[in-house]
Structure 1
Amino acid sequence: MGLYSNLTDQELSGLLKSGNPTVFAEIYNRYKAVLYLHAYRMIQNREEAKDVVQELFAAIWANHEKLIIKTTLSAYLYGAIRNRILDVIAHQKIVLKYTDTLQSFLEAGESVTDDQIREKELTAIIETEISLMPPKMREVFELSRQQDLSHKQIAAQLNISDKTVKKQVSKAIKLLRLKINLLLTFF
């Protein structure tokens, strides 16, 4: 039994602003498993579910001083994880739509329309953005997204830690998400 294990969620969320790592650890240990299960049920991908939970807690710790919890701690955490999952799903849909459109473009190469020309330009821009990534990030991203390797497989292949792989993939996705959103707005 930890020092803070008998405290209520409300008491813990009140103490979190002080930056006490033990309070944060208590919240993390209390909620990490249920949030992971919730995330996994929604996205059906273990690695993505783990990443979403880790990113949520990292963001909470990074912003603990400014954190405003207007509801219960559990409602706040479930809402935050749901929003992050919806972002992941939206990103996956954009990538799938992009991939499907690109495939259609390649299959229907003989009838080039304005839309297909725009799609080709978009593809070239995205490929350029990938090529401009730092070499290690690009390599990890391509192994993850183009060869569909798990974080563990990539870590073994490149002789780096799972944590490094997760960070590189996360950074690459954030970078591309920003660029894709800007490009989709433009097109």
Structure 2
Amino acid sequence: MESYSSFSDHELAGLLKSGNEAVFAEIYNRYKGVLYLHAYRMIQNKEDARDVVQELFAAIWISRENLVIKTTLSAYLYGATRNRILDVIAHHKVVSRYTDSLQDFIDSGESVTDNQIREKELKTIIETEISLMPPKMREVFELSRQQDLSHKQIAIQLKISDKTVKKQVGKAIKILRLKINILFTFF
């Protein structure tokens, strides 16, 4: 097996196109360390730096027959490494933005959904408790709260006194407040 350690980068680049594995191994061994250090300095992550170098050499081997190196081999390898580093950095930014937006959605979405569910449950409880009120009290309360009529208007409509309307609304609110307090005590 021929040793290519004495060959120049230009000679190795020319021989690489033929698919000679020993030539590829020489290029790999010659540059893997410095390219790894370069990548690590830029992205500060050992695994990502190692991946950048491995993927670069894998891509070179796969496209070796069509590889066009217009500069020196070292300049080509550094440039290709830089481009892959920039891809990694861009990918990390995209992932970071995505996880941030996902976390924002989870933070706000959970509370919105939780509040909507609680609001719906509370509304159901209130409606149930109103339906359980004595008929006259329920009628007075619904006219007061749902139709937004004044005590005087309700008294005229139902032909009862203002004081009776005021008492019925007060009792209805007391009943609802008591039931809601009991429920929130248990939950």
TM-score when scaled to structure 2?
0.57
Residue 111 of structure 1: how far off its partner (Å): 6.6
- Aligned residue for 1:181? none
For 2:64 and 2:75, locate their aligned partners in 1 and report how far apart those are by CA, in whole Å. Answer: 17
For 2:8 and 2:98, locate their aligned partners in 1 and report how far apart those are by CA, in whole Å. Answer: 46
Considering only aligned residues, what root-mean-square deviation do their CA atoms show, in Å?
A: 1.5
Please tell me whether Structure 1 or Structure 2 has the larger radius of gyration of its CA atoms. Answer: 2
Report matched runs for 1:25-36 at 5 Å: 25-36=25-36
For 1:108 and 1:39, locate their aligned partners in 2 and report how far apart those are by CA, in whole Å. Answer: 38
- Which letter maps to 1:72? T
For 1:64 and 1:102, locate their aligned partners in 2 and report how far apart those are by CA, in whole Å. Answer: 41
For 1:29 and 1:106, locate their aligned partners in 2 and report how far apart those are by CA, in whole Å. Answer: 47
- Which letter maps to 1:49? A
- Which letter maps to 1:42? M
Q: Deviations over 1:65-110 (max 9, x none)?
A: 0000001000000010111111111111101000001111222236
- Aligned residue for 2:102? 102
For 1:41 and 1:16, locate their aligned partners in 2 and report how far apart those are by CA, in whole Å. Answer: 28
Residue segments in structure 1 that go unaligned for 5+ positions in a row: 113-187
Task: Count residues in correspondence.
Answer: 111
Residue segments in structure 2 that go unaligned for 5+ positions in a row: 114-187
- Aligned residue for 2:54? 54
- Aligned residue for 2:43? 43
- Aligned residue for 1:76? 76
Q: Deviations over 1:89-148 (max 9, x none)?
A: 111110100000111122223679xxxxxxxxxxxxxxxxxxxxxxxxxxxxxxxxxxxx
Runs of 4+ aligned structure 1 residues displaced above 3 Å come to none
Q: Percent identity?
A: 72
- Which letter maps to 1:35? L
For 2:107 and 2:65, locate their aligned partners in 1 and report how far apart those are by CA, in whole Å. Answer: 53
- Aligned residue for 2:20? 20
- Aligned residue for 2:7? 7
- Which letter maps to 1:27? I
- Which letter maps to 1:106? I
Report matched runs for 1:99-178 at 5 Å: 99-109=99-109
Name the structure with the higher helix share. Answer: 2
